[in-house]
Structure 1
Amino acid sequence: MSAKSRGTFKMLSRYIVADKALLAKALALLLVGTALDVVGPLLAKIYIDDYLMQGVMEPTPLITLLLIYLACQLGAAGLRFIQALSFTEMALNAVQDIRKRAFARVIRLPMSYFDHARTGQLVSRITNDTEAIKDLYVQFLSNVLGNVVMLVGILIAMALLDPTLMLIALGLVPAVVGIIYLYQKLSGPAVAHSRELRSDINANINESIGGMAVIQASNQSERFLGSFGAVNQEYYRARMRTIRASGALLRPAIDLLSILTILGLLTLFGQQVVAGVAEVGVLYAFLSYMGRFTEPLAEITQRFNLYQQAMVAGDRVATLLQEEEQHYGDSPRQLEDGTIRLNKLSFAYQADKPVLHQLELAIPDGGFYAIVGHTGSGKSTLLSLLLDFYPAQRGQIELGGSDINDLCQQALRQGIGLIPQEPFILADTVFNNIDMGRGLSQEQVEQAAHKAHLHQAITGLPNGYQTELGEGGLRLSTGQRQQLVIARALAAQPKILLLDEATANIDSETEQVVQQALAELQGKVTLIAVAHRLSTIKQADQIVLLAQGRISEQGTHAELMALEGGTYQAMYRLQQQAARVEALEEQ
């Protein structure tokens, strides 16, 4: 077992003893239930040797033996049922905690992690892999413990009948251990590969459904179907490899060993019975126990396949749980105001490809600054750094008089609001979409909606603020969804509001409403707007033009337009020409 697997086994084992009372209850039920089950052949042996072979057919002892046998079997069945419930409860408690920890880790990971992680694979970790871990407790642990106890009980009963024959039966155990070891070596890599491929299938489906409009519009359905088919076929081949290993090494091998052992016992024991050395009842009991002895061995080997899958799934979940979380400062100090200062700020996603170079910028409290530039100039990256999604490699960011690295998560997230280009809407009520679990009052939520000029539209919905919006906010128009996101950001009363192309995907009428809402915030909140349409940021206090990660121009709209040969001037005139051409075409 590798060091990684040992760590996974240790993690999963902790849940077995987490509830000691429940574990003790399950084990006690298991021991008593097994003891009652093992008594059966011994009672049959007593009946055959002491009554049937002796010709004694008195009804009272026979009825007594029968009643004892029935009571033992019924008791064993009842105790097995309760014991199974105990192990299931243990499993569900473990999986609930592991799944919660996995999801908690995901939502606390730095944004850089999601640059390379696939959504479908993360979903698979939290759902499919944790479900496979559940089988470790319900199917494997319960079954293997039960069968091990059964084997010990049968060996004890066999020893009471004939110690020599018990030792012969015990010889099966090393052979079974060897088969399990060989199966683990042969199937381990295939099991791990099949679970990776299952994650790839989930990721493929997730990405395809998310981009269905683009796939169909670009006539790429067949290509994506072919890609999915290739992954699906590879998963089929991986699963077939594990099935072949299981089919060849588990049940068939155990059955063959048990048949050979029973034949040997029949030959040896049968001669002793014929010679009068051994009793017929002992022969019957021994054959009965041998049948029961091989069945637990076969069950253990078959369940080992579940153990293999659970350990692979556990390795994958453990890897996720070991990912480093986003780090924040520990200062409880809140942002004093909305001032922002960049001191020689530099950043690169990859060491050899810098995105921002030595940025120097001071933004006063309540200022309205627009960040513009061509695609790839570093505009959205700058917003990500202000949100502390990524750590700056060089330089410093000061927010509200504090170094961003000193701010705790609560101070940072409450002090800065974000309005992204693509609004994120929960499949929940309007109220909950604005509140976002912050415990706001109805009055606070309505105030935020008023500021976003959305209150009137909300009151027109069937249930007002308690209207369910559906997946993606289907009950709202595109513009109203953006206004809802603005209301959500304003509800936290941030000192700084970041807008990332906030009006890029809405119609001109709604854009005017959004612009009016933002104009009313000027001077009250520090506004940092990344914009492509330059006409929307003409009223900014300062416009900062980024070019290849550097500040190339800065000033008011009028000042930048006065720079002959300036980049901003050229960009603005080009957009104005395009707008005039578009207006003529519409006429």
Structure 2
Amino acid sequence: MQQDKQSIQSSSAFGLLFSYIGRDKPLLVRAAVLLMLATGADVAGPLLAKLFIDDYLMQSRFAPMPLAMILAAYLFTQIGSAWLRYQQTLRFTDIALAAVKEIRQRVFSHVLKLPIAWYDRAATGQLVSRITNDTEAIKDLYVQFLSTVLTNAVLLIGIIIAMALLDLRLMAISLLLIPGVIGLIYLYQRLSGAAVAASRQHRSEINNLISESIAGMPVIQAGGQQGRFSDYFEQLNTRYYASRMRTIRVSALLLRPAIDLLSISVLIAVIWGFGQVQVEGAIEIGVLYAYLNFLGRFTEPLAEITQRFNLYQQAMVAGARVQALLQQPLPATEGAEPCIPRGGVRFSNVSFAYRADKPVLKQLSLEIPAGSFIGIVGHTGSGKSTLLNLLLNFYPVSAGTLTLDDRTIDQYSQQALRDGIALIPQEPFIKSASLRENIDMGRNLPQLQIEKALHEAGLGAFVSQLPQGLETLLGERGTRLSTGQRQQLVIARALAATPRILLLDEATANVDSETESVVQQALNKLHGQTTLIVVAHRLSTIRRADRILVMRQGEVVERGTHAELMQSEHGIYRGLYRLQYQAQQVEMAEHQ
């Protein structure tokens, strides 16, 4: 069963690798014609040498004109062969690189469209390895293996035809090399396949560990975990080293040395065969010279082909990994509604669970009118962020109905949802690019719209003081901005799109009071124009909300305005608010 699975995987990977070759047929035809001409020029050289030896040298005929013509023809074929090989290599490399470019683009485009649920179980480092290292291995297959095998296979056919024209018996002896080489290739694949797959898996794990370690370096150093992470990396590195050494040992044993041994054996057989027929007086010296020349050229392509089979093995494994990624299912066909008209939201008996045995939302029913300001609070795990994820269509609801302006969410296109719903997360995502690019995000927004968004987010004065203004580069993760400014930038990015629904997921949890005040001012300006759904840790952010929902274990247990909820003697909201108020008073007293 496992062998059948690997066979199917390799077949699909093979189809992926070579499905792009025929895209540019004119270029492929030109490359094939150049290959044929180069092979013909290669084969003509020994035949001309045979003609010179047997018809002129052995006959003691040294007529200047015929010899000059033979020499000129020989030089022409050798120079022409070199030039044709150069041109053919350029064409094949062009085809190969274009094919790999398309594969890499296709993989990345597919990854961008995968549902968020898939990323919940995906490892970032391994994903990066598949998009970069594995596609690079496919490139090596195209550029080195495919070009080498095709070129040398055609050359072998040309040499066999030339051998047949010279002497069929010696050709039959030379052909003994081919089954021996096929046997070596089969044995190499059997012995090295598992080791190659293991080495690529270990490389992905190494990339993943490095990615996670760099991202979590403050935590690692604060916890004194450097030694443990270093030991784990050493274990992965050792396993990768061992798997690579296994493939190298098999390659060193079965590829070039074994081919050389076979070629020497065939050379001895050819010389012995020549001796047998020479006794009968049935063969010429020039034929032996041409055969020895052809045999050397016959051996080299076979050696080149076998040496490239380690690249083939790696590319098959890499292609299978890339193909497995491409076969990850995309979200169901999206709806046709082009935009969200107003921004009204309704949850009707909505239930949801990441795992079937652990429900997160339970029979949630909620009506949010367009333009209203809704605050959501609750302890960790109560389902607040999950509610926002469902609105963004990151996950489909398990039961019930989620509608936007009286249409179910699956009736809207993904573009309509992305244009009509904006998210301001707790952890801001900042590209290593300019301020303008971070706000625009490829939407080609007008200058006035960007400046208006910056002003509403409270960043207008700051940007005006920068020497390069909107063209200022922010560095990786926005290192040139403070924590508050990064959050303000994300707010400006969301506001620039003028969304119908604006979602804030703990957006003020990690900012100072001044930045929180800016966020509150922005919310007040948008109140009535945009539907605001704000998940807040700081309750002061949502004091002016039209309605505040208190969630616990996937259910709304309290709802009302700030004033109404504060009147509940034993209410959860009132308790949370009093705790935060006391903490703020203590902090102010300590500061004074």
Aligning the two structures, in what range does the TM-score lie when normalised by the shorter sequence?
over 0.9
CA distance in 1 between partners of 2:284 and 2:500 (Å):
92
The Cα shift of 1:359 comes to: 0.7
Q: Give the 5 Å matches for 1:131-142.
A: 131-142=136-147
CA distance in 2 between partners of 1:345 and 1:458 (Å):
43
Deviations 1:206-245 (A, max 9, x none): 1111111111121111111111111111111111111111
Q: 1:542·1:556 contact (CA, 8 Å) conserved in 2?
A: yes
Deviations 1:531-575 (A, max 9, x none): 112222222111111111111111112222221222222222222
Using the size of structure 2 for normalisation, the TM-score is 0.96
Residue 422 of structure 2 corresponds to residue 417 of structure 1: yes
SS at match of 2:581: helix
Q: Indicate which of 308, 311, 321 corresponds to 2:326.
A: 321
SS at match of 2:488: helix
Q: Give the 5 Å matches for 1:108-119.
A: 108-119=113-124
Q: Give the 5 Å matches for 1:500-511.
A: 500-511=505-516
Aligned to 1:473: 478
The Cα shift of 1:275 comes to: 5.6
The Cα shift of 1:267 comes to: 2.0
Aligned to 2:530: 525
Give me the CA root mean square deviation: 1.5
CA distance in 2 between partners of 1:102 and 1:408 (Å):
22
The Cα shift of 1:475 comes to: 2.5
Q: Indicate which of 359, 366, 371 corresponds to 1:366.
A: 371
SS at match of 2:19: helix
Aligned to 2:555: 550
Q: 1:414·1:494 contact (CA, 8 Å) conserved in 2?
A: yes
Q: 1:143·1:300 contact (CA, 8 Å) conserved in 2?
A: yes
SS at match of 1:544: strand
CA distance in 1 between partners of 2:553 and 2:457 (Å):
34
Deviations 1:31-56 (A, max 9, x none): 10011011111111112112222222
Q: 2:159·2:294 contact (CA, 8 Å) conserved in 1?
A: yes
SS at match of 2:551: strand
Residue 591 of structure 2 corresponds to residue 581 of structure 1: no
CA distance in 2 between partners of 1:47 and 1:556 (Å):
105
SS at match of 1:37: helix
The Cα shift of 1:333 comes to: 4.3
Q: Indicate which of 286, 305, 314 corresponds to 2:310.
A: 305
Aligned to 1:336: 341
CA distance in 2 between partners of 1:333 and 1:121 (Å):
36
Deviations 1:176-229 (A, max 9, x none): 111111211221121112111111111111111111111112111111111111
Q: Indicate which of 188, 194, 208 corresponds to 2:193.
A: 188
The Cα shift of 1:271 comes to: 4.2
Aligned to 2:259: 254
Q: 2:338·2:415 contact (CA, 8 Å) conserved in 1?
A: no
The Cα shift of 1:58 comes to: 3.1
Aligned to 1:67: 72
CA distance in 2 between partners of 1:584 and 1:490 (Å):
36
Aligned to 2:227: 222
CA distance in 1 between partners of 2:405 and 2:511 (Å):
32
The Cα shift of 1:159 comes to: 0.8
The Cα shift of 1:60 comes to: 2.9
Aligned to 1:147: 152
Q: 1:335·1:402 contact (CA, 8 Å) conserved in 2?
A: no
CA distance in 2 between partners of 1:328 and 1:21 (Å):
36
Deviations 1:406-433 (A, max 9, x none): 1111211111111011111122222222
Aligned length: 587
Q: What percent identity do the matched residue pairs reach?
A: 60
Aligned to 1:123: 128
Q: 1:336·1:401 contact (CA, 8 Å) conserved in 2?
A: no
The Cα shift of 1:144 comes to: 0.5
SS at match of 1:440: coil
Aligned to 1:397: 402
Q: Indicate which of 182, 204, 210 corresponds to 1:205.
A: 210
Amino acid at match of 2:502: L
Using the size of structure 1 for normalisation, the TM-score is 0.97
| Greater displacement, 512-521 / 83-92 | 512-521
Aligned to 1:166: 171
The Cα shift of 1:156 comes to: 0.9
Deviations 1:237-265 (A, max 9, x none): 11111111111111111111111111122
Structure 2: runs of 5+ lacking an equivalent: 1-5
CA distance in 1 between partners of 2:76 and 2:381 (Å):
79
Amino acid at match of 1:228: F
Q: 2:375·2:533 contact (CA, 8 Å) conserved in 1?
A: yes
The Cα shift of 1:484 comes to: 1.4
Which runs of at least 4 in structure 1 moved beyond 6 Å after TM superposition?
A: none
Residue 446 of structure 2 corresponds to residue 430 of structure 1: no
Q: Give the 5 Å matches for 1:379-394.
A: 379-394=384-399
Q: 2:547·2:561 contact (CA, 8 Å) conserved in 1?
A: yes
The Cα shift of 1:328 comes to: 5.2
Deviations 1:476-507 (A, max 9, x none): 22212211111111111111100001111112
Q: 2:170·2:273 contact (CA, 8 Å) conserved in 1?
A: no
SS at match of 1:472: helix
The Cα shift of 1:283 comes to: 1.1
Aligned to 2:3: none
Structure 1: runs of 5+ lacking an equivalent: none
Q: Indicate which of 54, 61, 64 corresponds to 2:59.
A: 54
CA distance in 2 between partners of 1:305 and 1:401 (Å):
59
CA distance in 2 between partners of 1:582 and 1:105 (Å):
49
Amino acid at match of 1:286: Y
Deviations 1:241-299 (A, max 9, x none): 11111111111111111111111221221343366432111111111111111111111
